[in-house]
Amino acid sequence: MLGMKLVRLIEKHSGELSRELMEQVLNSEHASDFQKIPPEDLRLAATDLYRNLGEWLLQKREGDITSRFQAVATRRVEEGIRPHHMVWALMLTRDCLWRFLRKEAFLDSIMELHAELELQQLLNQFFDRAIYHAIEGYERAEEQRKRRSDWTRAQELAVSIGLMSAPRASTAFSQLSILPSHISVTRALQKPLE
């Protein structure tokens, strides 16, 4: 497959591509949140993606892309990267590939043009899925963060009105067992103080 020659060209130049991408991401106002992450971490993530591009395009399944990019999104939420900055960085990743291919690949025949179009379709499908699953990962991470925050507020309120003792760091989530079984936390929190 001629398209694989282009993929191998990308994999061979993964270091060069990742350095160029890192510079673009760190200098883009649309991805400025990435300045919070050590440059070496960014470079390694980009190099890993470019170096294994053939595997991602041809061997990985939807579930693999889902797992990977939801995990990346969860990590980015923890690092304080906003979703639109991550999407912009993914688009820069794809655009960097296309600039490289335009510069390095020589299209001497209709077959090579067809191979490039085939690769473009595979790349677009991959990055569309990566963006979708990254946003899905952001939403899940935010829901978990909100649930933890709601739980913490409920505990603080229960402590402040005397329904439970202050939780110790290691047993914060087991303290609700001190409530009588007939009192639900919801009812207890909604009951006016007398």
At residue 33, the pLDDT reads 94
At residue 193, the pLDDT reads 46
If we measure between CA atoms, which residue out of 96, 46, 130, 13 comes closest to residue 5? 13
Q: Which two tokens stand for residue 76?
A: 């980015």
pLDDT, tens digit (0-9, with 9 covering 90-100), for 143-176: 888 888 878 877 877 777 777 787 665 444 444 4
At residue 114, the pLDDT reads 67
pTM score: 0.65
Q: Which two tokens stand for residue 57?
A: 């395009």
At residue 184, the pLDDT reads 43
DSSP 114: H
- The Cα-based distances of 20 to 43, 86, 97 in angstroms read 9, 17, 10
| Res. 191: pLDDT tops 90 | no
At residue 190, the pLDDT reads 46
pLDDT, tens digit (0-9, with 9 covering 90-100), for 91-138: 999 999 888 887 876 666 666 766 777 788 888 888 888 898 889 888
CATH T-level assignment (fold) for domain 2-149:
Globin-like (1.10.490)
**Ordered DSSP codes for 22-63:** HHHHHH-GGGGGGGGS-HHHHHHHHHHHHHTHHHHHHT--HH
Distance, CA of 97 to CA of 120 (rounded, Å): 10
What mean pLDDT is reported for the chain? 79
Q: Which two tokens stand for residue 83?
A: 């979703």
- The Cα-based distances of 108 to 9, 115, 176 in angstroms read 16, 11, 71
pLDDT, tens digit (0-9, with 9 covering 90-100), for 38-60: 988 999 999 998 888 888 888 88
Q: Where are the domains of the chain?
A: 2-149
Which phi and psi (to 5°) does residue 179 adopt? -75, 145
At residue 172, the pLDDT reads 44
pLDDT, tens digit (0-9, with 9 covering 90-100), for 19-32: 999 999 999 999 99
